[in-house]
Structure 1
């Protein structure tokens, strides 16, 4: 189940309920071997995922399109509350993790005052977990640029990984 909020000034918010306990969803979100299975929209792969998962730690992800194009994202973790919340910055990067301005990549991206991304994990009981992703762009811009659609595709892929983790647990 996905829920989107559309308002010209509100931040991008995408939610998803997973049929798995919070600890399992957290594991899929914080272990590079699982992130590599779901990062990037439908049809994309994640050949590189480096995570120093601690406050002040950095990460570097690569998403690769079916035609071989590579898009790099990097960032830093600012707050981690185990099983509850991750606050981080994310930016476009090169393969070494150096910041690259969106305009240099031909991407229209308007961050809201360098706002961080916030991901929360809520235990709904009955083995379900609600994940809420709050991005650093307005919902209107995120819809226009395809970020909302991409995030929903990423969450679809994450759901498949989490379902497999739950099955083999």
Structure 2
């Protein structure tokens, strides 16, 4: 994980994040000043950012919003107050409403981003300056420390090209906390086809099969969905999942609930995001479980291995 420290200083009214990366300063600078790259990591997992304006000039403004899996939105803006490429830039960061104006009751903060060369690459130092202790405490209470850590820990995938980042790693499962798991898999193929493979029954039935020997015998998609599998011709092995679409933004994000058919209890929330680079697509699936026990029970079924078998078929299906 690249973040090495996040600390607050109540006397000087600051929060400082430090992170080290195996990439040169110029590459780190581009990640923070290209809105398309910035979108891939600025929001923490589950709250990806979308930048709708980005004027990298002193006095210029960047506008963005972050969207939760359930469609809730948090909006912000940067006003660039100083730029020294590729070493640093400074912004006034504000929470804003749909009209772009600062929200009452929410602090505005001065943030300084500094990029320095190290023996192994580069170091990001991000210092946030608050106007009062109340504003600092309010921001920390809103989850800024953990959210910042999780956001910056996504940056390694941005600094490398996708194929180099995913080389030989297959399907990867990361435990983010007691309720959240992140699955990543590089798929050789364009994003549009990967999206279609997740939403068209004739394609789904070619790849979403798990271990060898299983077949999908029911596949219904739309605002709600239902998938049923069985092993070979043995109907007694049938099981399936069903759910509904919570958020859909073709062709890059789809959020659905998931629940085993016939089982009581809460659903999981599955947040699928697709990012394409040079003809390859990074598939990221953020799964929210109701509790740690459910998370551990499902992971113990060999979920990752089954998903890798399916994703290998997905590549073949869209080749």
Deviation string, structure 1 residues 25-70 (Cα, Å, up to 9, x no partner): 1111000110111121111122334210011111101111111111
Structure 1 residue corresponding to 2:128, chosen from 102, 122, 135: 135
Where 2:112 maps in the other structure, the secondary structure is: strand
Larger RCO: 1 or 2 (CA < 8 Å, sep 6+): 1
Structure 2 residue corresponding to 1:161, chosen from 158, 167, 180: 158
In structure 2, the partner of 1:26 is 29
In structure 2, the partner of 1:146 is 143
Residues 16, 33 of structure 1: alpha-carbon distance in 2 compared, 3 angstrom cutoff: same
In structure 2, the partner of 1:9 is 11
Residues 110, 159 of structure 1: alpha-carbon distance in 2 compared, 3 angstrom cutoff: same
- Quick check: 2:66–2:74 contact (8 Å CA) kept in 1? yes
Q: 2: CA distance between counterparts of 1:133 and 1:166?
A: 29
Residues 2, 21 of structure 1: alpha-carbon distance in 2 compared, 3 angstrom cutoff: same
How many pairs does the alignment contain?
158
| TM-score normalised over the length of structure 1 | 0.82
- Tell whether 2:72 aligns with 1:69: yes
RMSD over aligned CA atoms reads: 2.3
Moved >6 Å (runs of 4+): none
- Tell whether 2:110 aligns with 1:116: yes
| TM-score normalised over the length of structure 2 | 0.46
Deviation string, structure 1 residues 107-150 (Cα, Å, up to 9, x no partner): xx556xxx521010001133x11001111336962433311111
Residues 117, 54 of structure 1: alpha-carbon distance in 2 compared, 3 angstrom cutoff: same
In structure 1, the partner of 2:45 is 42
Residues 98, 161 of structure 1: alpha-carbon distance in 2 compared, 3 angstrom cutoff: same
Structure whose residues are more often strand by fraction: 2
In structure 2, the partner of 1:106 is none
- Quick check: 2:66–2:73 contact (8 Å CA) kept in 1? yes
Larger gyration radius, structure 1 or structure 2: 2
Structure 1 segments unaligned to the other structure (5+ residues)? 104-108
